[in-house]
Each structure stands twice: as C-alpha cells, then as structure tokens.
Amino acid sequence: MISTAVKDLAAEALFVSYLQPSESPSGVAVQEAITAMILRHGSDGCAAGVAEEFGDHPEIAVQRMTWVHEELAEVPALRAPVLH
C-alpha cells in the first residue's frame, strides 16, 4: 500500500508541473512529470510551489488541485488497493 506521504508528494509534484488539464495528459506523461518535478525541486520545493500558488491565486489553485487528484486516481501505482 502506498503511504499518504508518497501520495501527497506526487500531488504536489504534479501540481507544480508544466502539465495542463487542457492537454488531457496520458498516465505516462503524468508519471514522467511527477518524477521530473521531484528531481528538479525536491519534496520541499514542490510543497513550497503549492503553498505559493494557494497564497497568490487560491481560486485557481483549488481548481488545479482538484484536477491533480483526478489525474492521480488514474495512476495505478497510487491507487488504493481493491479489497475483495
């Protein structure tokens, strides 16, 4: 099971990425963007970018974070396991 901290980091990294909802990115593009942003900014840098956007543009940041969570729900490695 993926930890909450890993899911949070992935969300922050995707949030600060160059991907846009209008692009309808593939799952591979989402995963590549997450990796690139973590390597570029580190966990603290990604979190700082999210905080800055929520401080400067809260209405847009909320919309972007909603999109981020929708995208992450489609990433197999970040989905909660299905219990049978």
pLDDT in tens, 8-42: 999 999 999 999 999 999 999 999 999 999 999 99
Please, is 37 exposed, middle or buried when counting C-beta atoms within 10 Å of its C-beta (0-12, 13-18, 19+)?
buried
Give tens-digit pLDDT for 51-82: 999 999 999 999 999 999 999 988 766 655 55
- Delimit the domains of the chain by residue range: 4-77
| DSSP 3-state of 67 | helix
Side-chain half-sphere exposure of 38, counting CA atoms within 13 A: 15
Report the predicted TM-score, pTM, of the whole model to 2 decimal places.
0.86
Q: Which residue has the higher pLDDT, 59 or 3?
A: 59
Using CA atoms, how far apart are residues 11 and 38, in angstroms rounded to an integer?
11
Closest listed residue to residue 64, CA positions, set 77, 75, 50: 50
Q: What 3-state DSSP class applies to 2? A: coil
